[in-house]
Amino acid sequence: MLDKIKTIADLLRQSSYTVVMTGAGVSTESGIPDFRSPGSGLWTVVNPELFTIQGFKANPGAFYRAGIPFFRQIEKAQPNATHTVLAELERRGLVRAVITQNVDGLHQKGGSRQVLEIHGSLCSASCMHCDYRVPIETITEDVEEGLLPPLCVECGEPLKPDVVLFGEPLSPDYRQALDEAQKATLVLVIGSSLQVSPANQLPSLCENLVIINRTPTFYDEKAQVTINEDTARVMELILEELDKNN
């Protein structure tokens, strides 16, 4: 694996515009479950129908009863080495943007500034009727006090977390993510199985591709380098390799 680490470090040095795309595998090492892993993925313990926009509108109380344990995990989670290394690479000018499928805000907590959240964010919630917005902590407090669903104080309608549910369009960040991927001379995919469309189309917009993910993806044959390991240790090794020539 060390030869691959050296190659990735060289690609980062040579690239004039590197964009990173991250998925759930980045956050699992912060204690946040992914969606599809057998026995631990979110869709193995809750009904994904509740997380459609139709399911939310039909029964927002059931949505919150199923989702609030997951929301609390995200509130408590802290960035891991993948998040902090990416922030350091941005600081050095080696990464221009992070496109993330995650909704946990850990990239920002870890220090990244240019973050595009194409599936929205669980850091806040909004009223679908009047756009009144509150921090997610307000939502969890309301739920703990027995208010299901939490309601907008302006109009009384249910508040919805600012995440993209099934059946909704991607966030406005997706258009900018397309632009970033098209400008990129290197795309580094970290912790994503690349199974979710249309986000999985982004890597195809760049000729130079690196994939770091615990399991294989259907893009592996296109990638210049593929490493099937947990992401945090790999990112630490990449930073150590970059530091050797500093």
Backbone angles phi, psi at 188, to 5 degrees: -110, 110
Residue 123 in tokens = 């850091």
Are 54 and 216 a contacting pair, CB within 8 Å? no
Bridge partners (DSSP) of residue 124 are: 135
Long-range contacts formed by 216-224: CB under 8 A, 24+ apart: 217/189, 217/192, 217/193, 218/194, 219/189, 219/194, 223/189, 224/7, 224/11
- Nearest residue to 140 via CA among 132, 149, 129: 149
Please state the separation of Cα 117 from the chain's center in Å.
Answer: 7
Please state the separation of Cα 39 from the chain's center in Å.
Answer: 21
Catalytic residue, chosen from 83, 107, 119, 129, is 119
Residue 129 is a catalytic residue:
no
Bridge partners (DSSP) of residue 98 are: 20, 115
Q: What contacts 241, CB < 8 A, 6 or more positions away?
A: 5, 6, 8, 9
- Per-residue b or e along 211-226, where b marks 16 or more CB atoms closer than 10 Å to that residue's CB: bbbeeebebeeebebb
- Nearest residue to 202 via CA among 215, 217, 216: 217
Active-site residue list: 119
